[in-house]
Amino acid sequence: MKGNYNIFYTPEKQYPGMPHGEMCGDFMPFFWKGVYHLFYLYKCCVYKVETEDFVHYKEPTLVLQNGSPDDQDWHIGTGSVFEYDGIFYFHYTGFCEGNHGLEGKNEQVILRARSTDMVHWEKDRDFFFRPDTRYYGNLHWRDPHVIRNDELGKFFMLITATQKEGAYKRTGCTAVYVSEDMNTWEHFKTLYAPRTFITHECHDCFKMGDKWYLTFSNYSRWWETRYRVADCFQGPYRVPEHDDMFDGREYYAAKYETDGKKRYMVGWESIRENCRDSGRHLWGGNILVHELVQREDGTLGVKMPDTIEQSFTEEIPLKLTLRQGEFSGEDACFTGSASDGFAWAELSELPETALFDTELSWSEGTEAVGIMIHAQPDLKEWCQLRLEIKNGRILMDRYNRVDGDQYYLDERPVRFTENSAKVKLVVSGNIMLVYVNDVALVSRCYEIASGSVGIFTEYGEIRAKGTRLLVQKY
C-alpha cells in the first residue's frame, strides 16, 4: 500500500486493527505565498503539512497540542486559518466530553490561537465562544470557519449548530456570526436550516463567478460532502439539480481553497475498519484533492488537479490480450463487442501507482462499458469501473459476491449526454479514484492488490481511443 503516501498523503501507514484517531482527518487548507498549508486533525491535536503541488509533501509539524482531560481543548476539533493585519488567526473547536451535562460548562466551545509566522502558535486564553443558546442548541457548536466578505465589508464566521427545536436528528443548521475586527462576534443569521441532517459539519462558503456556494459535510447517512448554491451570500441556498456532491460516500470534510487561479476542494478518503473490504467506514484516512469546475448552469463538477496528472510522466506500453468476446486494436485505440453478454480484454499489468487515461465511446443501446482493475485472467478476482449507460451512473464493483456476501457499491450519478466519456483512473495502493468527465468517484479495495488493467463491454460495443497507462518517475 505504499503507493498511497505520494499523492494521497497520510502521516500513518494503514494496518489491520488500527485504532480510531491514527489516521488524519478534517484538512483545513490555507494558501499563503505560493504554498498550501494544510492543517489537519491527528491524535486529538492539530498538525500541518505543506505542499506546492499536492504531489510532494514536506514532513508534518505539530501546530496545537491538546490539553488535559480537565481542559476545554482536551480534544481539538476542526476550524480555519485566516490572516488579518499581519496576524494569523486559527479558530478551532475545543472538545471536553467530561463537561457534558455539567452546569455552566460546555462540551463544545470555539477557541482560537494566533501566530505571526504560522510556525509558532499561542493559544488565546481570553477567547472563549460558547454556544449561543438564545438562537441555538447547547451541544453542537464547532467547526468555526472565517471568511471575508468584501461585498459587505465584514468578517463572517460559519458555525456547526443545531436549531433549538425540531425533529430528532434533523435540526442541523449553519449559524453565521459577523465581526468588523476579528474580536467581537455578533449573531448575523441562520444561513441554512433544511431540517434534513443531524449537523452540517466543516462548512465553507465561497464565490465563483456570480454564484455563492455553501459546502458542508454530514455523517448521518454516509461520509459525504455536499454543496448548495445561491445568488448572494445571504441566500436563499438551493439544492443543485441532479447532483449535490463532489465525490461519493467516502469523501468527507472537504474545504475550499484557491491560489487565485485554480480552485480546490481538500478533504479525506475514509479507511475501512480493520483494513477489510467488508469493514465499515471509519473517520479519517488519506488526503484527497479535487479541482473545482463550474458548469454553465452554475452547478459544480471536479477534475484531477493538473499537477497530479502531470506527475505521471512515464508511459507503459499497452498490448491487447483477448480474454472474452471480440476485441481488436493496437497502440492507443481498441474496439470490442458483446451483443449477448460480457466481453473484455487485458491491456497491461497494473503498477502499484498508475494513471489510466482514455476516452470511451459506445454504440446506442449498450448497457455498460468500463475498465477492469486488478483483474485475474480467469476473473476469480477483479475490480471494475462501470459506466452504466442506461442507469445513468458510474460505480466501483469488486469480484464475485455469492452467498449473501453483498457489500454496497460506491456509485455516482452521471449524465451521459453523448455516447462517449473521458475517463481518468488513478490506482494507488488500495485507493481507486476515477474521473468520468467532471464527476469523481473514489473507492478502496484492500483484498485485491494485483492483476491487470483492461476494458470491457456488456450487451453492446465499446471503443477506447487515446488510451495511455502512465506511472510516476522520480
**Model confidence at 412: pLDDT above 60:** yes
* Percentage of the residues of the chain whose pLDDT score is greater than 70: 97
Mean pLDDT over each residue of the chain, to the nearest integer: 93
CA distance linking residue 166 with residue 251, whole number of Å: 28
Query: Can you list the alpha helix ranges (DSSP code H) found in 342-440?
Result: none
For 209-352, list the strands marked E by DSSP: 211-218, 224-230, 251-258, 263-272, 281-294, 300-303, 312-315, 321-324, 326-330, 333-349
Strand partners, 205: 214
pLDDT digit string, tens, across residues 95-120:
999 999 899 899 999 999 999 999 99
Looking at residues 233-253, what average pLDDT do you find? Answer: 95
Any idea which of 155-164, 288-297, 327-336, 398-407 has the lowest mean pLDDT?
A: 398-407
pLDDT digit string, tens, across residues 15-63:
887 777 788 999 999 999 999 999 999 999 999 999 999 999 999 999 9
Kindly report the number of other CB atoms within 10 A of residue 127's CB atom. 17
In which residue ranges of the chain is CATH 2.60.120.560 found? 313-472
CA distance linking residue 184 with residue 180, whole number of Å: 8
The long-range contacts involving 236-240, CB below 8 angstroms and separated by at least 24 positions, are 237/191, 237/192, 237/212, 240/298, 240/299, 240/300
Element spanning 308, H or E: helix 306-310
**Model confidence at 2: pLDDT above 60:** no
Strand partners, 37: 30, 50
**Model confidence at 402: pLDDT above 70:** no
What amino acid occupies position 404? Answer: G
4 phi, psi to nearest 5 deg: -65, -25
Q: Would you state the pLDDT for residue 300?
A: 98
Any idea which of 9-13, 238-242, 361-365 has the lowest mean pLDDT?
A: 9-13
Looking at residues 183-191, what average pLDDT do you find? Answer: 96
Looking at residues 185-194, what average pLDDT do you find? Answer: 97
Classify 2-310 by CATH class: mainly beta
**Model confidence at 156: pLDDT above 70:** yes
Dihedral (C-alpha) 123, 99, 225, 11: value to the nearest 10 degrees? 60
Strand partners, 370: 386, 456
381: its cell numbers: 478476482
> Do strands 410-413 and 420-428 pair parallel, antiparallel, or not at all (unpaired)?
unpaired
CA distance linking residue 136 with residue 86, whole number of Å: 33
230: its cell numbers: 445561491
pLDDT digit string, tens, across residues 332-355:
999 999 989 999 999 999 999 999
pLDDT band of 400, cuts 50, 70, 90: low
Q: Which CATH superfamily is domain 313-472 in?
A: Exo-inulinase; domain 1 (2.60.120.560)
- Give residue 320's Cα distance to chain centre: 34
Looking at residues 391-406, what average pLDDT do you find? Answer: 78
pLDDT band of 302, cuts 50, 70, 90: very high
pLDDT band of 284, cuts 50, 70, 90: very high
Q: Would you state the pLDDT for residue 404?
A: 61
Identify whether the C-beta of residue 236 lies closer than 8 Å to the C-beta of residue 259. no
**Burial of residue 181, with CB atoms counted within 10 A of its CB: 0-12 exposed, 13-18 middle, 19 or more buried:** exposed
In which residue ranges of the chain is CATH 2.115.10.20 found? 2-310
**Burial of residue 102, with CB atoms counted within 10 A of its CB: 0-12 exposed, 13-18 middle, 19 or more buried:** exposed
Q: Would you state the pLDDT for residue 16?
A: 82
**Model confidence at 3: pLDDT above 60:** no
Query: pLDDT: is 281 or 132 the higher one?
Result: 132
Provide CB contacts within 8 A for 229, sequence distance 6+: 211, 212, 213, 214, 237, 238, 240, 298, 299, 300
3-class secondary-structure state, position 301:
strand
CA distance linking residue 39 with residue 435, whole number of Å: 26
pLDDT digit string, tens, across residues 420-446:
999 999 999 999 999 999 999 999 998
Looking at residues 302-318, what average pLDDT do you find? Answer: 97
Provide CB contacts within 8 A for 447, sequence distance 6+: 276, 277
Phi-psi category of residue 311: left, alpha or beta, with phi > 0 → left and psi -120 to 50 → alpha? alpha
Looking at residues 221-234, what average pLDDT do you find? Answer: 92
Identify whether the C-beta of residue 175 lies closer than 8 Å to the C-beta of residue 161. yes
Q: Would you state the pLDDT for residue 1?
A: 42
Q: Would you state the pLDDT for residue 403?
A: 61
